[in-house]
Structure 1
């Protein structure tokens, strides 16, 4: 992950998550390491290490997502932060209680 001031360290990323992401989504979230690819304004192929945050939240949480994205863009001097949303259904497959309770 990079910013105009160089690479975003893992420590800086973790501080950001602890301060902003966990505050917005205390029920939890998942982070994936990824590589982003795109064409720059000069039509040069670009790539960089990035992070993907997965949040399962109701539709009315969109402003929280936007707030975290704006904070990341500001704190790490980004040109843009991608947000993708979709409707989903989820279930947890939990461990069965084996003691009869």
Structure 2
């Protein structure tokens, strides 16, 4: 009997040392697919979806390709600080034919998709990202596409 009491006391002591479960990002209200009450993402804001297209090198792997490590460094230094709440990066194939060229350049491409409020500050942040990439790589352009978006979190 004393051994059972000792085991029971040990169990209660160990159970008291466990951490609470982590806070879940999943909904506790499955009737709603929308994150409610997030002041950083107001529902009434005017949102844009901006896509930025970056050449990371010729598809045939010739000189001038941006390495995965260099791409990650660019994201860490230029994009993440400006959009810390998130963005998406997609791998793509692109073609670009410069004026007077007979054949298009076939390019490995990265597309960054950012959902953001339509504001002067966000526009300035996006332009800073484009300019930084052109400065780093010597590319002549970074395509920007911005369009209104209906956003729900």
TM above 0.5, yes or no, is yes
The 5 Å alignment of 1:55-66 reads 55-60=114-119, 61-66=122-127
The match for 1:25 among 76, 83, 87 is: 83
Q: Deviations over 1:27-82 (max 9, x none)?
A: 11000000111222323122100100000001111110011010011011111111
Please report the RMSD computed on the Cα atoms of aligned residues, expressed in angstroms: 1.5
State the partner residue of 2:43: none
In 2: Cα distance, 1:7 partner to 1:65 partner: 23
The 5 Å alignment of 1:2-81 reads 2=57, 6-41=64-99, 42-60=101-119, 61-81=122-142
Structure 1 unaligned blocks of 5 or more: 93-101
- Which structure is richer in relative contact order (CA contacts within 8 A, separation 6 or more)? 2
The ranges of structure 1 where at least 4 consecutive aligned residues each deviate by more than 6 angstroms after the TM superposition are none
Structure 2 unaligned blocks of 5 or more: 1-55
The number of residues matched between the two structures is 91
In 1: Cα distance, 2:96 partner to 2:151 partner: 31
